[in-house]
Structure 1
């Protein structure tokens, strides 16, 4: 990539969604929503993996090209960069419980690209970022609600 094309990039994130043993219910809804985000220009999918962690801790990583029936993801598969290396996969899988399956996506936040480019042109650089898990937000809101009940 050239410096000018790199200047237009948005922030790149990854997400791991784990499905504990016996709790997966793959209806195709997740794939449809991911395609919708790509089609809307909200994100650009860079890489996607399916990880399986055996009870003994061994990891099996499947690229989308290894999956027979991709459904709506089939047209996105050809555009993937397959960016993640074996070491990345091991690090990602370390967070998984034995016996679980996880989906990993690496994506560019296209919606944020103009802001990120402007920040770089202004001499700025990203020094930290983070994500608050939805479970933590829900727990915090529930705790606040409990405190309000006690205070009444």
Structure 2
């Protein structure tokens, strides 16, 4: 493994669905802020659309900003080559017809020093994951209901 990879932080991906192909661009400045502050590094950013017939089409950044409302040129060239056609097809399979998605692969720069230290000590990541906010809220609601039910008894 090269030194570049040894120094990397954890790498994550997101597939973000935009119902009805409505992308406002509101999140782009926030993503840029994370990059500018050295919290994340964008490795890949691609967009796909799932047509009503179920076919999945890759979109160019210029296709997303036909009205000129937000500047996407800062994201051009955000391609490490990690995303392949299989990944685009898989992301598209998770979309509802008529929707589009952004596919983002990013390095967690904030965690790179910890990751380096752990690798030097021989540790390795053996599992990881994300807990959706909806699942956290449901769990908190269930705990609150159980607590209220126990107090009523």
TM-score (norm 1): 0.85
1:130 equivalent to 2:129? Answer yes
Task: Kindly state the Cα deviation for residue 8 of structure 1 after the two structures are TM-superposed.
Answer: 0.6
C-alpha distance in structure 2 between counterparts of 1:82 and 1:67, whole Å: 21
Deviates more, 1:9-18 or 1:69-78: 69-78
Q: 1:130 to 1:70 in 2, by over 3 A?
A: farther
C-alpha distance in structure 2 between counterparts of 1:115 and 1:141, whole Å: 30
Indicate conservation of the 8 Å contact 1:10/1:113, yes or no.
yes
Q: What residue is the counterpart of 1:21 in the other structure?
A: 20
Task: Kindly state the Cα deviation for residue 65 of structure 1 after the two structures are TM-superposed.
Answer: 5.8
Q: What residue is the counterpart of 1:30 in the other structure?
A: 27
Q: What does residue range 66-105 of structure 1 map to in structure 2 within 5 Å? A: 67-68=64-65, 69=68, 71-105=70-104
Q: 1:47 aligns with which of 34, 38, 44?
A: 44
Indicate conservation of the 8 Å contact 1:51/1:62, yes or no.
yes
Indicate conservation of the 8 Å contact 1:48/1:64, yes or no.
no
Task: Kindly state the Cα deviation for residue 20 of structure 1 after the two structures are TM-superposed.
Answer: 2.7
C-alpha distance in structure 2 between counterparts of 1:12 and 1:124, whole Å: 17
Q: 1:60 aligns with which of 57, 60, 63?
A: 57
- Tell me how many residue pairs correspond in the alignment: 149
Instruction: Give per-residue Cα distances to partners, 1:30-68, cap 9 Å, x unaligned.
Output: 001100110110000011111211222110112436544
Indicate conservation of the 8 Å contact 2:45/2:78, yes or no.
no
TM-score (norm 2): 0.84
Q: What residue is the counterpart of 2:149 in the other structure?
A: 150
Question: What is the Cα-based RMSD across aligned positions, in Å?
Answer: 2.2
Larger Rg: 2
Indicate conservation of the 8 Å contact 1:48/1:63, yes or no.
no
Matched residue of 1:21: which SS? helix
Indicate conservation of the 8 Å contact 2:45/2:75, yes or no.
no
Q: Which runs of 5+ in 1 are unaligned?
A: none
